[in-house]
Amino acid sequence: MIEATGLSYAYDGIPALADVDLEAGPGAIVGLIGPNGSGKSTLLRLLYRALTPQSGSVIIDGVPVQALGSRELPRRVAVVAQEPPAEISLTVAELVLLGRSPHRSSLQAYTGHDHRVAAAALHRVGMREFADRGVGTLSGGEKQRALIARAIAQEADHLLLDEPTNHLDIHYQHEVLRLVRAMGVATVIVLHDLNLAARYCDALVLLDHGRVVASGTVRDVLRPEILGPVYRVGVRVIDDDGCPQLIFRPDLEEPGPGAETGPGSPLLSSDHPLSPSLEGFDGPR
C-alpha cells in the first residue's frame, strides 16, 4: 500500500503542491489527472523519493519512504519516469536486465532466472524481437515499452508511472494499460487522456494548481461540473458499456465587439496590413 498524507512542495519558494493526500491499496490503480503544471509529476516524484516533501509523509507498506534503503526502495517500488533516458550504449535486453539489479549485489552476475524474467517482460510488452537492438535506435514508443518491460522485470509490489502511454499508438496505449492492470500491484499512474483513465483506473485524484480538486471513484471525479472549470472546456459524459467516456468541446465565450466577423470587422478589413484584398470577392461559389 502507498499512503501519502499532507504532502506539500515548492520549487524556489513557488508552491507546486499543497496538502495532498493519496492512497493506493494492494492491486489498485490510482490515476493522477489534471492540467499541465497541476503538480502530477511532482507528486509522483515525492512518492519515490526523487524529491523530499517540505511537509507531509509517504508510507510504503507501513514504512516511511525516507527510511527505506537505496536497495530496498527499488525492490518495493518500480518507476517509469516521463524523462527519456540518456543515450546509452545498451541493448534492449541489457536495459531490461537492469530491472533485476535490486535483486543482485553489485558483484553478482545476472542468473539464468534473471534472464528468463527479462525475456518474459519483453515478451509481455511485445518487444522480444527487439532484444538485441541498441536502445538508441528505438523510436519513442519502442523506448517507452522497453522501460515498462524493465519495470516489470523489477518484480516490485508497487508501480509508479508518469504518462506511460506517451509516444504510444492507440493499440499499445490500451495494451500497456491492460498489462498494468494484469500485474495486480498497487499502482499510481499519471495520465493526460481522461478516457484511458476512466477505463483502466480504480480511483482518480484530480489536481489543479497543486491542490486536490476531487478524488474518489472514476464516476465521482469525471463529472462535467468538476472537469469543466478545471480544464476550461465543455464536457459531456456518455456510457460505453458501463464505462464513462468523455466528449470535449471548446468552451468558447461569445465573441466581443473586437472579434466581430461581419463587414467592417478588423479581422476582415481590406486595409488591415495582414489581410488580402477583398476587392471583387462576392462570397464562395
The domain that contains 36 carries what CATH number? 3.40.50.300
Contact indicator for 75, 51 with CB cutoff of 8 Å: no
Residue 278 lies in a domain: no
Alpha carbons 58 and 20: distance in angstroms, whole number: 11
CA–CA dist 130, 174 (Å, integer): 20
Domain assignment present for residue 261? The answer is: no
User: Is 237 among the domain residues?
Assistant: no
pLDDT per position as a tens digit, 42-96 = 999 999 999 999 999 999 999 999 999 888 999 999 999 876 555 678 999 999 9
Range from 105-109, 138-142, 163-167 carrying the lowest mean pLDDT = 105-109
pLDDT computed for residue 77 by the predictor: 95
Residue 145 forms part of a structural domain: yes
Overall number of domains in the chain? 1
Question: Is there a contact between 2 and 47 (Cβ–Cβ < 8 Å)?
Answer: yes
- Hey, what's the cell of 261? 466577423
DSSP H/E element including 29: strand 29-33
Name the residue range of residue 159's domain.
2-230
pLDDT at 265 over 80: no
Q: What is the pLDDT of residues 215-235, one digit of tens each?
A: 999 999 999 999 999 999 999
Cell numbers 532466472: residue: 113
**pLDDT value for 102:** 87
Let me know if residue 149 belongs to a domain: yes
CA distances from 96 to 70, 118, 144, 152, 215 (A): 19, 6, 12, 9, 34
Q: Which amino acid belongs to residue 255?
A: P
Reduced to 3 states (helix: H, G, I; strand: E, B; else coil), residue 76 is: helix
**Under a CB-based contact definition with an 8 Å cutoff, are residues 46 and 160 in contact?**
no
Cα separation of 36 and 210, whole Å? 11
Whole-model pTM? 0.82
Q: Is 247 within the bounds of a domain?
A: no
What does the block give as the cell for 101? Answer: 539489479
Of the chain, the percentage scoring pLDDT greater than 70 comes to: 86
Sort 261 into a burial class: Cβ within 10 Å, 0-12 / 13-18 / 19+.
Answer: exposed
Q: Cα–Cα distance between 94 and 69 in angstroms, integer?
A: 24
Stretch among 50-64, 96-110, 197-211 having the lowest mean pLDDT:
96-110
Which triple of cell numbers denotes residue 130?
527487439
Give pLDDT, residue 65. Answer: 94
Radius of gyration of the chain (CA): 24
- The residue-averaged pLDDT of 104-131 equals 89
> Does residue 159 belong to any structural domain of this protein?
yes
Whether 264 has a pLDDT exceeding 80, the answer reads no
Burial class (CB in 10 A: 0-12, 13-18, 19+), 5: middle
- How deeply is 83 buried, as exposed, middle or buried, from its count of CB atoms within 10 A (0-12, 13-18, 19+)? exposed
Higher pLDDT among residues 245 and 108, named by residue: 245
* pLDDT of amino acid 43: 97
Q: From residue 68, how far is each of 49, 65, 73, 122 by CA, in Å? A: 10, 5, 5, 28
Residue 273: what pLDDT? 40
Residue 40 has pLDDT above 80, yes or no: yes
Find the angle CA(219)-CA(168)-CA(122) to the nearest 5 degrees: 105
Establish if 179 belongs to a structural domain: yes
